[in-house]
Each structure stands twice: as structure tokens, then as C-alpha cells.
Structure 1
């Protein structure tokens, strides 16, 4: 019945979400026992003697019950009456019951391995998870070493650092864990004695007194030493026919379900190569070669995805292999990866991206120096390729972010190579280059008492492109992008390259604020005027975002001072687009730095008032909005002085007599318009209440309802916005007005001219 099936599914879902594996063997260490005694009471010797047999009997009973349950679940598989759904439920129960302390029955392991090539796709999926977990349970133990900092540095023949000082960032004593100072070992003994630290936090801030790390050596199963429980997995994956069938089923599953990179498969392959070493490699390398040469288009994506999962498993599983094993692995993998990268497609790129990401995750870069060198060769390759392959190479380079600050020489080399390609003819390539550049500079972080000396210097780089940006702007403004002669259109290549460079700089500037932990640099302030000036060349959303990101950053005092100086300089520019952009920026900057910008209130006020009477209409309009925002947030207080000033300016007579004729003075109408916009800012600064100056400001605005179109339009917009924000509570707000003021306001708001 459908209702019964739904009930079973609900129960299964509940178990899947809430089931916690119960410990079969309960071992309590001596420290815990002593703490319990201290909390309760001291125990006599006979009480301990009484406890031990009871504890052992309980464990034996638990193990018997566990084995009986596992055997019972396994035996159900041989019942032909079971549906696929019921088999999946049983396998899920088995997965939840896996234990490290208790050996899993042989029959159970056989069922799970055989299910990898089951006809049902859902059973194969759960089988992959089970085998992945089984490999993790069966993995040979690691050999951990504990050494003092003095011992580690003595072995490397380097002076031991002072443990008291904490200077985060680049120091002489943490150079050895970066790729810069690494010399690959020549012998297995040297390889095993090398101290590899896989987590990136080691040594960045300071060193621990004692460092615990796994020795670069691990026991591996051999045919002579492996138990029958392990041999089941080994024998099946050494069977070429089984591996071929397994991979074909994986491809089939991908075709039907359009899966992304499968993390469970990756973990399964990683566990297999970790436990059994290089023995499995020949079988899988043969299959990998077949997978990437698949001719059928509809199968290529699935083939590449499975190949990527296997390769990622190989890379991750080879972590503790011997030097000889690693040499054989990379001798085969490097040519294979070269062929993969030459034949990438839009459908297969994401799976190889995931391959590098998961394959190198949480690994010391010194272990992965071969793969890092290979990735670097992707962008150094001068072979002429299509646009997609070139963007793909830059995209894969981003996976080096796994190693963060520990590959400074690589970031410097990438940075040098990338900055010469900022004017690349293809937009997609330029965007990826901008992303890579922003990531390469993201590790230039200077914390308290710290320093950054090895990674690319963000200030130096941005100053370099600032000079090139200045030249690009001049080139673009001097030479037209397109020359039209009759029906023929010729593109000026110099102007095109200049525009390409400008667009890439904007993209880079935006990305650095998204990637970098400490994006605000002094060079960002120095390049800021150009970001405003570019408004007249490439006015687009990215440019606005790039400026807004500067404003949204927490700005320290020295940055604020420098930015305000730059804004004052921009507001004297001959380009009104730059002045308008500066006024838009001021509002965002103050809103996001309201408290630390208080000391500069006078300078900001003078700057805004100056631009309110700018000769360009667009600048004045934006400044009015900015002033209204500053009034609204309380950064600048509305006072009698401001109100009087705007009132006087709004009443300036814009008619003058010249040679006996009455004409309109442009200079005076600008001042009058500025005064009106100031009054609008006062009105709109109180969107949901009526401040003291609003009624009088509204009456003054009503007087300008018949001014020239320029002023009249601003008045209309201001009154419309006031009406919109005060409409719902007008029965309360009207109490702030006199009867005469209400008559005037009503007359203007319902006037036919007002809505014309």
C-alpha cells in the first residue's frame, strides 16, 4: 500500500537524520575513572574487582548482539522476495552500524562490495558510501611523532625562534614550511624524516612548544600481511573485469542523473589507494585512458567526471606513499593530465576543477610540489589555443588557493605573468586573469606586529597598474575606438587595448575586495580618482560596485583623511561624471563609517555644499540626495544657518539686464537651483515625521512651482516624494502645519500644472 510505503520512508528519513552510532565497546580511561571517583566517593579494591567482570561480560554481550544483528541483516539479502527499496534500507542500517572496535562480518563486506556493480543505481550509491566508510575503518594506523620546536629546528640546522614573541605573517622561522625553501628529498629516509604540516595555520602566528605530526610513513597492506577482511576489497579491485564493470556503471549513473563531482566516490577511491598503494594503479590507469578518449559525445561528460573522481582519489590517497611509488604515479599522471587539459570542454571543466580542489585539500604544498609545478605550466604554455582552453587554464590555477600563504614564490610568478595580460583581447580570459590576480594579492596581510614580505605586494602592484591606467585613459580619449569611412568600420587597436585594460582593472578592483582579508591599501586610495574619472568612459554596474566596495570597507583614520583629500581634488575636476561619482561615494562612505568619520564633518559639509552649486545639473541633483542622507543619519545637523542660506539662495533673481535686454543668467539660476535642492534635502531628510524646518521649507518650495523647467522639475520630485512618504500618517503630520500652510500645500499638490 502507498500509505505503508510513505510511512516506511518517513521512518527511514527520521533514522537517517537522527541516528547516532552506539559504542559497542565502552572503554573508560584511568583519568576519567579518577575524575568520577573524585566527584563521587573513593572505591574499595573489591568494588573494582566486582566491576571488571561485569564490564567485560557487558562488552561480550554487546559484541554478540552486534554480530547477530549484522548477520541477520546480511542474510536478508539472499531473500529473493526483497525489493530494491528494502535492500537500500538494509544497507543504510549496515552503514549506520559500522564500528571501529568490532570486526565487520565477512559476509557483510562481500555483500557491500558486490553491490557496487548492482543493477539498481540507488543500491550502487549506498554501496559506494559503505565501501568508503569501510576503507576508512580499515586504514592502517599512522605513526605520530611529538617533537619540541627546538628539536625540529636543530634537525634542520636552523636557529630556534623566540617562543615569547608573536609576529604573525612572514618570518625567517616559518620559511621552511613554505614551498620557497623546499628541496625535494633524494632518499626514502629523508622523505620519512621531513616534518610535513598539512594545516595552513601552523607557524603563521607563532609556534607551539610541542608539535605533533604524522610521520611521512604508513603501513600498507600486502598480500602476505592483509587479513581476510581486507583481502575481499583488495581482490575485487585487483580484478580488471570488476573495475571495468564498476566504472561503466558509474558512467551510466552520471548519464541518467546528471550528477556533479561525487564526493563519496572520491573518498572511496582515496581510501582504496591509501590502503593498497600502487598495486591498483595499473588497472585504473588503463581505464582512465579509455575514459578520456571516449568518442560518444553524450558519454564524454560522465566519463570525464568518473576519471576526475579516480584521479582525485589517487592524489589524496598517495599522501603517505614512498618516494619510489610517488615517482611512478606522477610519471603517469602528468602526461595524462596534460592530455586532459588540452581536451577540456565546458561540460568537463567543473569536474576537473573539483578534482584538483579535493585532491589537494588540507595537504602540505611540499607534498604536492609536482602537481603545483604542473598547474603553473598551464599558464606558462605558449601554445596557441582557443579562448575556452585559455580561460580553463586560468580557472584551474585558482585551485592553488588551497595552499594560501605557503606558496609565495608561485603567487609572485603568477602575478608577474598575469599583469602583462591585462589587455588580453578576449573578455573571458581577462575576467579570469583579474580573479587570479586578486587571489594572488589576497595574502598580503599585515596584522599587529606582523609583516608580509614574501607574497606579492598589493600596494606596489596597484601603483604599477595606476600608472598604466593613466596612460590607457589618455590613449582612449585621444584616439577614437572606431573610424567610420562609408560603410567600412575600422577598430583602432590601441584604443581597443586601452579599453580592455580599463575593464580588467575595474574587474580586478572589484574582486580584490571579495577575495582579500585585508583589502584596503593605501594604493587603493591613490587609484580612486581614476575610478571616478572612468565614469565618462565605461559607465557600468561593475564600476559603481568597485567604488561602493571601497566605501563599505571599515576605513581607519589615515585612509579617511587621504580619501577626503582625493574627493576634494576630484570635485575640482573638469569632468562632471567624476564629480557626480564622488558625491555618490560620499554618502556610502559616511553611512558605512559613521562613527569614525565624525572628526571630518566640517570638511565633508563644505565639500557637499560646494557641489550643491556645481555648474552641472546631474552633479547638483546627486549632491542633494547625498546631503539629504547626511541630514537623515544625523551626521550633519539641520540648523538655522543652513536653512537661512538655502532660503536666500533660492530667492536669487536669475534675470539680469544686458544691453537693455532682460536675460536669464546661467550663474544665478544655478545658485537658485542649488538653494531649491538644499530645501528639498531638508524636506526629504524627514521621510516619516515633520521636523521643525520642514513646513517653512515646503512653503518656500511651493513658491517655485512656476520657475523654469530645471527648477520646477526638482520641486515636483521633492513634493511628490514628500507626499508619498507622509501619505499614510498625514492625519498626524498635518497638525504641524498652520491652516494657511495647508491651503498653499493642498493647492500646489492638486494643481493641474503640478501633474502636467
Structure 2
């Protein structure tokens, strides 16, 4: 029967249109789900031969992969050998210029790693073809192609560090004179092609990570943790708006709220320490701090054992050379204080008060922002320690530096907004002198609009 059916199905699948794909996929799913696996060998062989056939049509290649993927998904653990075969076939086509084909490859590879779970023991004596494909192995295939992306991250890091030291302004991330005199048109075109290929590779990696996080029972696999610097950098990429949106979507919808296992928590912290302590692009640091805020809050019971390390990351970021980084660190600290991940202690208040009286402008601003974080962490209450913190920060309301004055103004405005509904109750926590200071600053049009 298969001598007659094989060429007929092959021709049908080769000329299959989009409306027919849905029905043929349903047929293959039904047949494979209701048949004994050994009886499906002719059909599986036919589908693999279709995938192996070269084609310039992205839709044709994608639809053939979809049929194979649909068939193998029904075999469950019995199809491990076939999944390994499919992975081997796709090793040379991980990066595709067409989004539908690129995503189809990523989805197939993600499904191939279903049984790569920490709780599943695999006998090492089994032949490699009978062992479930590992997420780490497939991630390594992608990582080998990400060299250009890492070079771009390092290049911006070096340029940003140079400009911070010399006070110069970069032109498109590179010095304009250097670009003019050292790069020919041919080399620029070559760099452009390399950069374009690197971004295609990164999109393929994002698709694989996105689908693996959706399908895997291991939440965020360890092999993905070292990619955090890439997500932080390219979520601010101005050269490719689509790539920026994809990275932002990955960070917001998955990474910031995903479960981090206790075993992986130290490596996650190490990656954030590396990002925030290195002279990298300041926008990457801002993205990392946003991620820390949500990731720690979502996994507070996992990260509570590393509370000191996270606190040190945030406190050090309050002394960063970039204002935006300091402000984002203060926001993250405020949220974690509000959620009781950190305790508001007199030692912490003293630390920020001391920094606020420093002669160094960066430390002074960081100290004021630290005090601001403490104040804003109590949006609807006034604990006994808060009045003194407010009085400390009020002393900087007329500071000579506009950045410090603006920080105080925003803090007091937010304090008034969140406390005015129950102010009759809250004002009992203040003495008459403290209330007089607050009235002068909160009612004055110079500090509250």
C-alpha cells in the first residue's frame, strides 16, 4: 500500500496550500495519536524525507517542519530517537531570514527538549540517540553564533566607559573621527551585513528561549541565565525597533515573573552583579535594575537567602555615575522595602543620611535617593521612624544642586499625594516643629504643583 501512497502523499504535501495545511495536520495528529508507533514508520520516514528536500519557499519548509513536529509530539517518550534525528537535521538551519521559518525551527527544538528535566534520570550508558535532547546542548548551538552580538555589547561598554572618563559624547556609539578615517565603504558594508546576521541570530535565540520557557517544566533553564546581559542590552537597542520590542516582551512577560529555582539563584545574582558593576552601557543597567525589582519580588522566598547580596547591588547602584541608574536603583529599593523583602532599620537610615552629607555629589544624590526610597516605601502609613527621615530629606530642599532639589521635590510631592486622604490621622506622628517644616514645603508652589 505504501508503494502507492508514498508518492501520492509526497506530491500532495509538496504543493499543499495554507488552507489545506490545517486539515492535513489534523489528519497526521489523529493517525499518530491512535496508532501503534511501529506502524507509523513509513509515514514518519516520508515526512522526514520531505524536510530533507531543499526548497527556496519559506512557507513550504515551515509547513513540512510543522507536519513532522505534529507527528512526533504524539509519540511522546517513544519518539526520543526521532527528536534527536530532527535536531541533527536542524543544526545547520538555526538562523533563518524568514520569521515564520525561524520560529518553526525554534518551536521544534523546544519540543525536542520536553524530557530534559532535573527530576528525570537518564542512564548514561544509553546510546546518545536514545537520550533526550538537552536544552544546554541546543543552547550551545545558538551561543556559538552569538559572537558578534557579544562583541557589540562589549564595544558599547568600552565606548561608554571611555566617554565617562573623558567627558566626550559618542556619535552613534563610535567616535565620528575614528569612523571617518579608519573605515572604508567596503568595510562598513561588511560590518552592516555582519550586524544584520547577528540580529537574525539573536531573534532566533529569543524565539527558542521564549518557546522553551512556555513549554518547559524547568521554568528558566540554567543555560539561559548567562544570556541576561544580552536581554538587558538589546531591550534598549535603537537600531532595530522590532528587536527591541521582542526583547522587551521577553523581559516583561517571561523573565521578570518567571520562577527561579534555589539552585539557579546564585548564578542569576552573579549575572546582575557583573552587569551593574562593569562599565557597561547605562541603559543596560537600568534594564537590569527593572528586572531585579520584579524578579526578586516574584521569587522573594528563593532570594531571601541572598538578601545581603541583592541589597549590596542596589546600594552600590545608588552611587553609579549615571543619574538614571541611581534613580532606578532607588525605585527598586523602595519597592522591595515596601514588600518587606528588606527591613527598614536605623542602620540603613544612618547609612543613607551619612551619604547624603557627603561632599561628593554622586554620593550625596545617592544618599538622598536612598532616604527617598525609605519614605516612598510607606505610601499609606507613617511609622515612628519616618518623621525624622522626612526632616533629614527636607534639609536638601534648597540644595544648590538642581538634581538633588528635584529628587526632594518629587519625594515630597509623592508623599503628599499618598497621605493627604488620611492626613488628620498621619499628622499625629509629627511634632509641631516637624509639621511646620512640612507645611512650608508642601504648600509652597515652589515645591508642590
TM-score norm. by structure 1 comes to 0.50
Deviation at 1:610, TM superposition (A): 0.7
Measure, in 2, the Cα distance between the counterparts of 1:715 and 1:398. 58
Shift of 1:644: 1.3
Shift in alpha-carbon separation, 1:511–1:693, aligned structure 2, 3 A: farther
Report 1:190-229 matches (<5 A).
Answer: none
1:522 to 1:734, Cα distance in 2 relative to 1, 3 A: same
Q: Structure 1 regions of 5+ residues with no counterpart?
A: 1-327, 654-667
* 1:542 partnered with 2:262: no
- Does 2:109 align with 1:437? yes
> Residue 473 and residue 449 in structure 1: after superposition, are their counterparts in 2 closer, same or farther (change >3 A)?
closer
Q: CA deviation at 1:520?
A: 3.7
Give the conservation status (yes or no) of the 8 Å contact 1:475–1:498: no
Which runs of 4 or more aligned residues in structure 1 lie more than 6 Å from their structure 2 counterparts after TM superposition?
A: 475-481
1:615 equivalenced with 2:321 (yes/no): yes
Counterparts in 2 of 1:741 and 1:423: CA distance versus 1, 3 Å:
same
1:590-739 equivalences in 2 (<5 Å): 590-653=296-359, 668-707=360-399, 708-739=401-432
Higher relative contact order (CA 8 A, sep 6+): 2
Deviation at 1:516, TM superposition (A): 0.9
Helix, strand or coil for the counterpart of 2:327? helix
Q: CA deviation at 1:536?
A: 4.9
Q: Determine the structure 2 residue equivalent to 1:462.
A: 139
- Equivalent residue for 1:357, pick from 26, 29, 48: 29
Which of 289, 297, 307 pairs up with 1:583?
289
Q: Does 1:424 align with 2:96?
A: yes
CA deviation map 1:139-197 (0-9, x unaligned): xxxxxxxxxxxxxxxxxxxxxxxxxxxxxxxxxxxxxxxxxxxxxxxxxxxxxxxxxxx
Check 1:476–1:542 CA distance in 2 against 1; reply closer, same or farther (3 A cut): same
How many angstroms does 1:380 deviate by?
A: 1.9
Tell me by how many angstroms 1:517 deviates: 1.6
Q: Residue 681 and residue 382 in structure 1: after superposition, are their counterparts in 2 closer, same or farther (change >3 A)? A: same
Q: Distance in 2 between matches of 1:336 and 1:714?
A: 73
User: What is residue 146 of structure 1 aligned with on the other side?
Assistant: none
Q: Indicate the residue corresponding to 1:517 in structure 2.
A: 217
Render the CA deviation track for 1:365-410: whole Å, top value 9, x for unaligned: 323222222332343221222x333333333343132222221222
Residue 408 to residue 697, structure 1, CA distance change in 2 (3 Å):
same
What do residues 186-210 of structure 1 show as CA deviations (whole Å, max 9, x unaligned)?
Answer: xxxxxxxxxxxxxxxxxxxxxxxxx
Number of the residue aligned with 2:67: 396
Deviation at 1:415, TM superposition (A): 2.0
Higher helix share: 2
In structure 2, do the counterparts of structure 1 residues 389 and 627 end up closer, same or farther at CA, with 3 Å as the change threshold? same
Match of 2:434 in 1: 741
Question: Relative to structure 1, is the Cα distance of residues 622 and 370 closer, same or farther in structure 2, using a 3 angstrom cutoff?
Answer: farther
Matched, 1:500 2:200: yes
- Distance (Å, rounded) in 2 between the aligned partners of 1:701 and 1:742: 14
Instruction: Calculate the aligned-residue CA RMSD, in Å.
Output: 3.2
CA contact (8 A) 1:507 1:542 kept: no
TM-score, normalised via structure 2 length: 0.80
1:395 is paired with a residue whose SS is helix
Q: Judging changes above 3 Å, is the alpha-carbon distance between structure 1 residues 590 and 472 closer, same or farther for their aligned structure 2 residues? A: closer
Matching of residue 754 in structure 1 with residue 447 in structure 2? yes
* Bigger Rg, which one: 1
The structure with more strand, counted as a fraction of residues: 1
Counterparts of 1:505 and 1:495, CA distance in 2: 15
Listed one character per residue, the Cα deviations across residues 16-73 of structure 1 (whole Å, up to 9, x for unaligned) are: xxxxxxxxxxxxxxxxxxxxxxxxxxxxxxxxxxxxxxxxxxxxxxxxxxxxxxxxxx
TM-superposed CA distance for 1:457, in Å, is: 1.6
CA distance in 2, matches of 1:363, 1:728: 68
Q: Is the 8 A contact 1:365 1:403 kept in 2?
A: yes
Tell me by how many angstroms 1:642 deviates: 1.0
Within the candidate set 228, 250, 264, 1:559 is matched to 264
